[in-house]
């Protein structure tokens, strides 16, 4: 069974666009879990343009499923994660001005840095995941960092799938198989949607978790949040 973790960044974006507290981020997180969502993901950035650092603290008492905090491990982010101790931290090599995540880690070039950061999280019993492109050498590098899991960066798959190129899933399947052989858990995320999630899941061996935000919230505008969460759960079975 592949778990669905719902990224609620877009809810924070909508709230911040008008000030105040509508929509209520904590209420949405609670509702998503009541609707069957198996995790909540947030990705605070230094400029706090959507999720604020205070949101991360406030959500700690609300998230009773899996709590996944994504981000670039700058000192402020590391401090946040160590204070909150979420279920999982997903390390993403975001530039400060990045609109959204747009590349995975080079786990070979950044091995020593990642080892240092991951060991600190491991000492605090926080599961670690590294955001990576679908390259087998990055799986091997991830193993050497001591990470518990990798998260496959799926934008390229989603783009090609939309064009009808089903072969685009192959490098992801190969990387997942290698990760399984290396005893690294496999997560995935970025541009996964109701259109492509079933095909992706069926072709990725040992897929433990998907983190979906932008598409899920956009689809919910037409179909309703509770309905969409359950549509994803159905496709992931």
Per-residue pLDDT, averaged over 164-190, amounts to: 98
Task: Say whether pLDDT at 218 is over 90.
Answer: yes
Query: What is the CATH number that goes with domain 3-236?
Result: 3.20.20.70
Active site (annotated) includes residue 190: yes
At 7 the pLDDT is 98
The beta strand positions in 75-226, using DSSP E, are: 88-91, 127-132, 149-153, 185-189, 207-212
Per-residue pLDDT, averaged over 173-178, amounts to: 98
107-131 pLDDT tens trace: 999 999 999 999 999 999 999 999 9
Active site (annotated) includes residue 202: no
Which member of 38, 66, 190, 219 is catalytic? Answer: 190
CA-based torsion, 237, 179, 187, 200: positive or negative = negative
Active site (annotated) includes residue 64: no
59-113 pLDDT tens trace: 999 999 999 999 999 999 999 999 999 999 999 997 655 545 567 999 999 999 9
Per-residue pLDDT, averaged over 158-165, amounts to: 98
Which member of 38, 66, 70, 219 is catalytic? Answer: 70
Could you tell me the residue ranges of all domains in the chain?
Answer: 3-236
Which member of 43, 50, 209, 219 is catalytic? Answer: 43
At 94 the pLDDT is 77
Tell me the whole-structure pTM to 2 decimals. 0.95
């Amino acid at each position: 069974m592949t778990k669905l973790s719902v990224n609620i960044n877009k809810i924070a974006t909508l709230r911040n666009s008008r000030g105040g507290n509508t929509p209520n981020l904590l209420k949405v997180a609670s509702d998503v879990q009541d609707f069957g969502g198996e995790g909540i993901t947030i990705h605070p950035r230094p400029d706090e343009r959507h999720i604020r650092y205070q949101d991360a603290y406030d959500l700690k008492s609300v998230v009773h499923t899996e709590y996944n905090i994504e981000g670039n491990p700058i000192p402020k982010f590391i401090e946040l994660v160590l204070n909150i101790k979420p279920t999982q931290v997903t390390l993403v090599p975001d530039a400060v001005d990045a609109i959204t995540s747009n590349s995975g880690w080079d786990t070979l070039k950044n091995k020593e840095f990642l080892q240092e950061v991951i060991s600190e999280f491991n000492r605090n019993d926080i599961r670690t995941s590294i955001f990576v492109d679908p390259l087998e050498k990055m799986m091997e590098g991830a193993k050497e960092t001591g990470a518990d899991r990798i998260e496959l960066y799926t934008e390229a798959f989603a783009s090609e799938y939309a064009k009808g190129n089903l072969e685009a899933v192959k490098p992801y399947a190969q990387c997942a198989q290698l990760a399984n052989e290396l005893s690294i858990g496999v997560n995935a995320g970025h541009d996964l949607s109701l259109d492509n999630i079933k095909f992706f899941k069926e072709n990725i061996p040992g897929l433990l978790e998907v983190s979906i935000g932008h598409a899920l919230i956009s689809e919910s505008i037409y179909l309703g949040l509770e309905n969409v969460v359950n549509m994803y759960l159905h496709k992931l079975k």
